Structure formats: C-alpha cells, structure tokens
Structure 1
Amino acid sequence: MKKAEVVFIPTPGVGHLVSTLELAKLLINRDNRLRITVLVIKFPHTAEVDVYTKSLPITDSLHVINLPECSIPPNTPPSSSMNAIVEAQKPNVKQAVYNIITGSENGVLSALVVDMFCTTMIDIAKEFSVPGLVFFTAGIASLGLILHVHTLFERDNVDSTQLLQQTELTIPSFANLFPINSLPNFMLRKEWESFFMNFAGGLKKADGIIVNSFEELESHAVHSFSSHPDLPDFPIYPVGPLLNPEPKTKGTVDSGDIIKWLDDQAPFSVVFLCFGSKGSFEEDQVKEIAFAIENSGVHFVWSLCKPEPKGTMIAPSDYPLSELDSLLPEGFLDRTAEIGKVIGWAPQAQILAHPATGGFVSHCGWNSTLESIYFGVPIATWPLSAEQQSNAFELVCELKMGVEIALDYRVEFGGGANYLLTAEKIKRGINSVLDKDGAVRDKVNEMSEKSRKTLLEGGSSYAYLVILVKRLTTTLD
C-alpha cells in the first residue's frame, strides 16, 4: 500500500519533542496510510531526548532519525542560538528528506510539519513542492497575540518602546483588552526584537497551523481566525489536548512515595506547587513561598528546584537535602513534616490526576495548563517566562478557570525576577484555589469533561483531525 510520507521537525528540547510524538501517534492511529518520520535536532551536549525516542515502539508507520549534531559559534547570544541551530541543520534536513523520497519505501512526500521555532524549514517544504505546516505547541489565543503584534510592528511601525508606553492592547484572539505587562518578554525587549520578527514572520509563511488546543476551550480565539481581517486566513487545526505521558527521567524522590502519601489525604485538600522543568527561584522568593505555605496551614506537595548557574541553558536540578535545610526557613521541614512534602522533580500528571489534589500553583506553561484542565484541577497563576504571562491572563480573565497569584511576574533571561511576590499574596492564592465550592472549580470541572470528549467522534478536535488527515493524504488520491 502506498503511504503519504509526512516529515516532522520538532524544536530541540524534550517539551516540544514529546508533544510532537503525541501528534504523530494520533495521526497514524487515525489513518494507516500515513507514514511519519521525526527528524530530531539535539542541543549540543544533551542526552535526555534519547530516553524518549528509544522508548518508542518501532513500527512501519513511525520512524525517528537523529540528525548529526551541529555546533554553533561560542559567542552566539541567547536570542539567536535557536535560530543558529536550526539554520545549521538545514543541509541535514534536506538530505534526510531527499533520502526519504528516493528510498525504497514506496511513499509520496505529502508535507513537512515544522515546530513553531523551526519555521525557516518551511523553505525546504517549498523546495520539495509540498505544504509546510507549523505545529504550534502553545494555545490559539497566544498564536493570535503573536501574529497580531507582529502585524503592528511590521504594518504600523510600532516597536517595543512604543508598546511599553501603553497599558492595554486590543488583540483579536482575546475577548478582553490585553494588559501590556502580560506580554511575553520577547515582545518587550529591544534585544529580542529580531528574534520575535523572524519567529512571528515565519509563522505567517505557513500553509496551515496545527495547534495543541481545542475549540471548546478557546472558542473566541478559534473564531477570531475566521472572522478578523487582521489575522492571517490560513487554516488552523486545533487537535488537542495532546497530553504528555509521564516523563521518563526521575529525580531523587520515588514517585510511589508521593502517591502513597496522597492516598492518605482527604479529597481536594492538597495544593501542588510546581513550576515546570525550567522553573526555579532565588532564595528570598523561596522563603516567601515557605511562609505562605506554613501560614495557610494547607496540606501540600512542593516541587522545588535549584536554579541553573547564571547565564547557562542547563535545566534546574534537585536540591540535596543538606542544602534544602539551610535554604528554607529554620525548622520549616520539621514543622510541616506531617502536612506536606518538599520534593525535587515531580511526577506531575500522576499528582494532578490524584483525587487528593485540589489546586495547582503553576507557571502556566501550556502543557501544564492542558493537564490541569484535563484532570479538573484549578490553577493559581504564577507565570515565569515565554508566553506564560498571556496564558495566566487567559486562564484568569478570559476563561475564568484560574485564580491570580500574579499575571505579570517574569524572570529575565540570565537575570532575576521583576519583583518579589509576598507570602501574603501567595497565601491568598493558595486558599482561593482550594475553594471546594467556587465558580472556578465548577468551570474547570465542566471543561475537564469537554477535554476528554473532544478527540472522540462528535468532538471538535476529532473533526479538525479528519480535515487535517484528508489534507495530508491528498497525494494518494
């Protein structure tokens, strides 16, 4: 049987790779005429992606090719490093695509699906005369925000300095006026301007965008794409939620112990604090979190990571116990031993799925947001970087599915945070997110139901997936 060959190019890094693999599996399960090859670009000196790719079942329909590692010039600034890696890999990608179409597998190249940060690869799709689709791993409102601000920069000659003189913006993909201080860092900093223009301009070159979200969740944003003249008129395919399976790496804590401890807690009584694989805080902020937890008296699981050395791209690590003692307020671990756990790496999906978990203090990364909604756990928002501020605003102000700890907290790249969040404010958020009878919890429960049904027949993501598969298999008709 002839197959439609689709080549996926995820951004370097585990987060993007895992959701790419989930999308690939979803597509081949829907239509056995698809064959997908994932071209893996690695950051120099990282082995963690191998853990994922080696655990994949080897099938005729899904192949993984590790591209040769490329080095980039040593003094490349952070804002250009991703682009430099992707550019350096172009010849390897071209060769891999050429090998696929001239191989003996009897397939027809039907599309390149490139990650949101690999859009310069769309040029390669054009060279092979196939559609270049983008896989956007954040939400649809976020996509609309990026595209619209790019239009303001390009068409209206607005720049980051002028943005900062305003307090709010009208953004088509948001129903409410959008606060300037919830814009992503890369739109507000002069040194990131060329990164942003390349990134957003690249998205506009796509022949369509696949989004890890679903229409029932972001209906206003989805409809803005078909109704607003300022947004590009390419098709979008919201086919989520594509949830990450459990990470294969482990910290110093046995996840079984955490789950056993949760088994002994009352339903909805535990607050879970976790800030993603890159989330960490300076010592003064850690102490404020500890005071907030202790003063609230709630039961808790706190995933606390040690910051990476300044100016590096190494992920945060777990604290050794000896360091934890001196970092936290004196006696904190002893006084809270009965009511909580301070851990390093956390089995996030398992904790969110547990009936004892009643609230989630989160950085509002999009994967974490989708998981939280899926498992019906309200979020107290504490964004750190990337597009997390706009996700926090969307959760609290648009969707009414989160409570606010902060909407504009941000950690500068290679620097500190813009302000210190006080124990009092954190405590208010913790108490509020655990409210058992609140309107926010009702909203989250209702959306949790919808997120479980949307990929089944009759759901919107199922319908978009059918349209997407039809497009990817037209070469076979």
Structure 2
Amino acid sequence: MANEVTQLIFIPSPGVGHIKSTVEIAKLLVNRDQRLAITVLVIKPSGMTSGSAITAYIESLAKNTMDHISFIQLPQDETSPVFDPKDPMNIKSHCKYVRNVVADLKTQPGSGRLAGFVVDMFCTSMIDVANEFNVPTFVFFTSSAAFLGFTQYIRTLCDDPNTDVVELSNSDTEVLVPCFVKPVPTKIFWNRVKTSVGLDFVEWFARKLGEAKAIMVNTFFELETHAIEALSHDVSIPPVYPVGPILNLEGGPGDGKPIDDDVIRWLDSQPNSSVVFLCFGSMGSFDEVQVKEIARGLELSGYRFVWSLRRPPPDQTSKVPSDYEDPSVVLPEGFLERTRGIGKVIGWAPQATVLGHDAVGGFVSHCGWNSLLESLWFGVPSAAWPMYAEQQMNAFAMVVELGLAVEIKLDYLKDLLNQKANTIIVTAEEIESGIRRVMEDNEVRRKVNEMSAKSKSAVMEGGSSYASIDRLIQIFLRDNS
C-alpha cells in the first residue's frame, strides 16, 4: 500500500558519541520522509563504559517521544561476560534481546514493513539477527571515511602471508594506505592493530563490514574526497554513502548539569576569535603532572581560554571522568588568581555551544571525529592532541593530509584501561606552541572557514550528503521482494 509505514531498527553502540549521532540521523531521516518509522534499541553501558551522565542520557531517551521515532532500552545482560576479542564491548550478548523485541514489533498492528537494521559500526554482530528476519543491514560508521579505508587496508594485510601486521604496526616507518594521499606513520596506527588480540578484532570487524548492504559514513564528500573515491573502487566492501556532518548541536549529557550561564556571559564579553577552548571529550582527563603543564602552557601563551578540566576516574571500574569540586587542588599554586579575567577553568563543557560562540577562535581537541566535525562546522581551527582509539589517525588526516588543524602531539596515546600506564608528558612549551599556532595561523583558519561553508552546503538541498540520504531513503522504501 502507498501509505504503508516502512520500519527501520536502529542499534547504536553504548557510547554517548555513537548514540547521539544515531539519534540525529534518525531524526534527519524521518523529517525527510514521513513514510519512515524508526525504533532505536538502546544498549545500556556496563562495566568500564558506565557513567552517570551516559546512563541518565540513555534513560531519558527511553522516556522520550519523537514523531516517528521510538526508543526501547534493552535489558541489561545479567550473565558475567566472557571476554571475546572479536566482541570487546559484549554486543553479542544483546542479540537475544534484539531478536525478541523485533519479533514482537513485527506482530503489532500497523507496524509496517521491516526494511532493515541500521547498526553502529561496533554492532555488526547484529547483522546475523537481521539475516534471521531476512532483511538487509546498513552500517552507520561514526568515524571518518579514511579510517574506514584503513580497516580494509588492514584486512588486506592480514590476507598476505608475508606480512606480520603486528610487527609492522609497532615499527617506526611509513606506509601507503589507499584512503590517504600521504604515507601514514605506523606510530599513529589504531592501537588495536599493535597486539595480536586487538588485530583479531580488527580483522573480524573489517570483514563483518563487508556483509552489510551499505555503509553510511558520518562525513561529507568535500572533506574526504580522496578517501571516498578510494572506497568507491574497493570491490570488497558495500557501497559507501557519505551522510554527514551528522551533529548534535544541542549539547549532550553533562552529569545532569545545565549549561553554565557564567561561562557564556564571560564569552559574551570577549573579542571575536580571541579565546582558545580546551576540551578532551567524554573520556578525556589527565593526571596532576600533565594538568600543571597545560596550565603553564596557557600562561606562557597569554591567550584567553576556557578549559574543561576533568578529574580522572578513581579506579578501573570506570573510565568516565568527573568534575573537580575544587580544581585548584591540581592546578599550579596561584594559577586561578593569576588568570582571573583571562580564562575560565570549568568542569563538563557544553562543547557545541562553546565552539559556536563568536569569541572562540581555537580548539585544543582530543580529535574525536564528532568533535572535529563540530569544529569545522563552526569554523574553529583545532590543535590536535589525540588520546585513544582512532584519534591519532583523525589527527594525522586533519593536520598532515588536509591542513585543517595544527599539531600539539600526534602520537600521544593514553591507555584507558590503565590510567597510570601513560608516562608521556606533553610539555608546557609544546602546548604553548600549539596554542599560538592554532590562534595565529591564518592559512589554516582560511581553510577551516572554507570547509565550514562546504560542510553546511553538503547537508542542504542540492548538497552532496543531502543527495546521499535521498538515495538511501529510496533503498529503504523499495520493496525487499
């Protein structure tokens, strides 16, 4: 029937950046075509990834009502997880709950035709469940097209009996990766490929992506032209659809805290592009020695600043930082007094709100992909200080490949499983240099402003990502028979 609803099942992975992006693309799809209805199945984080802010955000989604979008929070798996290197986030244990929910939804009156699953890049285990219902799976890849290409490059290396991928990844050399124009230093490879256990996951992950019907990437053609074109020639993976930038510009969970009006009022009183903003993501924090170096670097630079300073997790049961009750306990003596009127040290920051303020002219970032897309959207150049996951590769792409950021330290690496394992200290002088360059390099600022305009054009009618989403909607609406 012409008016029949077409149902999609969305499954994000239990990380706040992944969930927020998933919700935003779901809203975009149903706003574009009212024949679509989306049910988001939310996996509650457990163990290492749990945190009060994330949990509260997820629970708020479950109570939310949006037109054509519903949320179902899956039960928490009660069994003690057995570590599986191919399933480090324990996603497979939720397959049985997804199977039950989808079977129940299909029996409800007016549920419409189930057109497929849209799963997060780390939820590809759910492809097997989609196959049981005889529907296709679309992967929502919440990182860059270049990183997607890197995973496929690693898969090809694993197929070569003459290549020891772990040995190569731990060497000090550069290699040509098809989705990058310039040779990529192995020292900034995704840290998962540097151990045999991690490599097992990456190889499985890369092959599983090949089982999808299509891969939706949170990027846009004008930003990653080379990577997207390289992927289009890779016959081993499904068609790739750049659909970004998909952004949540309303902020996210902040330990239940509202936006700090005092910070916004202070920014209102500062000159345009005069403030550097330091923010390191939902899991970014430093020990006291490094905090003091950042403080010294800020003082040496002389620039106005807003610094989101978070306290490291107290133990190994969580990797989610919290706010300091009194940040002076880790800052150099007298720092807050000396910088009064020049800067603000805060806890959790409403990142998008701060980046969007006219006073902000530079962004010291951990180079999470969502954060980089936000900084480009608002035309704010970044100083790259990657910490974990694929952030080193994101930083390399932005600094070396695209010239859209400057470097603080591209090969910095933080071990989230052992907060005390990291012994690298980025010096105050390195931090000062990075801040000066991000605030003073007019060529980088010009390129970022140009890319900002392109990012906004991409999602407007007639834009590259707008057209990609149109093509995807037509696939969703097409009868599976």
The question of a shared fold, defined as TM-score above 0.5 by the shorter chain, is answered with yes
Query: Aligned pair in 2 of structure 1 residues 136, 271: CA closer, same or farther (>3 Å)?
Result: same
Q: From 344, 348, 353, give the equivalent of 1:345.
A: 348
- Looking at structure 2, the residues matched to 221 and 374 of structure 1 have their Cα atoms a distance apart, in angstroms, of 20
Question: Which residues of 2 match residues 364-375 of structure 1 at below 5 A?
Answer: 364-375=367-378
Deviation at 1:193, TM superposition (A): 2.4
Map of 1:423 onto structure 2: 428
> 2:313 touches 2:319 (CA, 8 Å); kept in 1?
yes
Corresponding residue number in structure 2 for 1:318: 323
Instruction: Tell me if 1:459 matches 2:466.
Output: no
Q: Does 1:48 align with 2:53?
A: no
* CA distance 1:476–1:128, shift in 2 (3 Å): closer
- TM-score under structure 2 normalisation? 0.93
Which residue does the alignment assign to 1:58? 66
Contact in 1 for aligned 2:87/2:201 (Cα 8 Å): no
Matches within 5 A, 1:32-431: 32-44=34-46, 47-54=55-62, 56-59=64-67, 61-73=68-80, 76=82, 82-84=88-90, 86-156=91-161, 157-227=163-233, 229=234, 232-244=236-248, 245-250=250-255, 255-321=260-326, 324-415=327-418, 416-417=421-422, 419-431=424-436
In structure 2, C-alpha distance between the alignment counterparts of 1:48 and 1:106, rounded to whole Å = 29
Alpha carbons 1:214, 1:460 under 8 Å: kept? yes
- Measured against aligned partners, the alpha-carbon deviations of 1:443-467 in whole angstroms (never above 9, x if no partner) come to 0000101111111111100110011
Amino acid corresponding to residue 199 of structure 2 in structure 1: E
Instruction: Indicate the percent of aligned positions where both proteins have the same amino acid.
Output: 46
**Is residue 7–residue 111 contact of structure 2 (8 Å, CA) maintained in 1?**
no
Q: Is the 8 A contact 2:44 2:58 kept in 1?
A: no
Matched-pair contact (CA < 8 Å) for 1:7–1:112: yes
CA distance in 2, matches of 1:129, 1:109: 10
- Which is worse superposed, 376-385 or 242-251? 242-251
CA shift, 1:127, in A, is 1.5
CA distance in 1, matches of 2:84, 2:429: 35
Unmatched 5+ stretches in structure 2:
none
CA distance in 2, matches of 1:33, 1:190: 46
Q: How far apart in 2 are the matches of 1:97 and 1:224? A: 36
Letter in 2 for 1:209: I
**Structure 1: 5+ residue runs without aligned partners?**
none
Q: Determine whether 1:444 maps to 2:444.
A: no
How many residue pairs get matched?
A: 469
SS in 2 for 1:145: helix
1:209–1:254 distance in 2 versus 1, CA, 3 Å: closer
The separation in 1 between residues aligned to 2:449 and 2:462, in whole angstroms, is: 20
Q: Is the 1:211–1:236 Cα contact (8 Å) retained in structure 2?
A: yes
For the 8 Å contact 1:251–1:346, the answer to whether it is kept is no
| SS, match of residue 165 in structure 1 | coil
SS at match of 1:475: coil
Structure 1 residues 27 and 40: alpha-carbon distance in aligned structure 2, compared to 1, 3 A threshold: same
